[in-house]
Amino acid sequence: MAHAENITFEEFRTRFSTEESCRAELFRLRFPNGFVCPKCGCKEYYPGRGRNAFQRRACRHQTSITAGTVMHRTHLPLTAWFWAIYLCATDKRGISAVQLSRTLNICYESAWYLLHRIRRAMAQRDEKYALSGIVEMDDGYVGGATHNGKRGRGTDKAKIVVALSKTENGAALFTRMQVVKDVTSKTLQQVIGKTVATGAKIECDGYRFNRRKTGDQIFLRLTRAVAASCVQLH
């Protein structure tokens, strides 16, 4: 698929304005070296029963270019999928189902379904990659007004751990966030083991963490020392 950051939405929508153009792009991405049946090795095929299906001449095995993708068994137009993926990938503020339904001229239910599937696929992809290089970590809390009136570690808001990889100059690269039940050393070890690559240099705001209570001191000591033990965590 075209690099979204290099073209505008209007240009992208013009390029993939028909089902055929989207189908051709999916076929190219799935078979970059030309079609080869994974079952029998046959290179010949013809259209199958479904709108995105094709069948091998030798083994008669039928498949779809959307099989195993976020668009698997979809009844929505491929153009809607392509345009929605572009908008999700390029909108830095995030796009809502209401905004998507208006932009694509589809009903809210379809827009919500598209966003749900796309975001889930993006999250699954992110889970396969670990942050490397310089990684800054911190904890935080999200949610509305608290019931117990407490702030910081004693709050009843949802607790999250944020990890940010950055360049030597401090420019942000990638971010991983995870909701946690607590911020104990055991939980933080699990988070780091899932999100930080072996050999990464982990940093945190030492001054701020040193001023906090015992729980924060544990987090500070952990983030400073865990890089050496990441091999065991993985």
DSSP secondary structure string for all residues of 145-213: --SS---GGG--SEEEEEEEEE-TT--EEEEEEEEES---HHHHHHHHHHHB-TT-EEE--HHHHHTS-
Query: With the C-alpha atoms ordered 87, 93, 98, 99, is the resulting torsion angle positive or negative?
Result: negative
For residue 2, give the 3-state DSSP assignment.
coil
Residue scoring higher pLDDT (160 or 149)? 160
Q: What is the pLDDT of residues 43-84, one digit of tens each?
A: 777 665 555 566 666 676 677 778 888 888 888 999 999 999
Whether the CB-CB separation of 233 and 226 falls below 8 Å is answered with: yes
pLDDT at 133: 86
pLDDT at 91: 82
Tell me the HSE value of 50 on the side-chain side, using a 13 A CA sphere. 15
pLDDT at 128: 73
Q: Give the number of other CB atoms < 10 A from CB of residue 183.
A: 20
pLDDT at residue 41 tops 60:
yes
Backbone angles phi, psi at 140, to 5 degrees: -160, -175
Q: What is the pLDDT of residues 105-156, one digit of tens each?
A: 999 999 999 999 998 888 777 777 788 888 888 887 776 555 555 555 555 6
For residue 36, give the 3-state DSSP assignment.
coil
Whether the CB-CB separation of 184 and 215 falls below 8 Å is answered with: yes
Q: What is the pLDDT of residues 162-206, one digit of tens each?
A: 888 888 888 888 888 888 888 777 787 788 888 888 888 887 754
pLDDT at 232: 39
pLDDT at 156: 63
Whether the CB-CB separation of 132 and 200 falls below 8 Å is answered with: yes
Residue 103: pLDDT band (50, 70, 90) is very high
pLDDT at 148: 54
The pTM is what?
A: 0.60
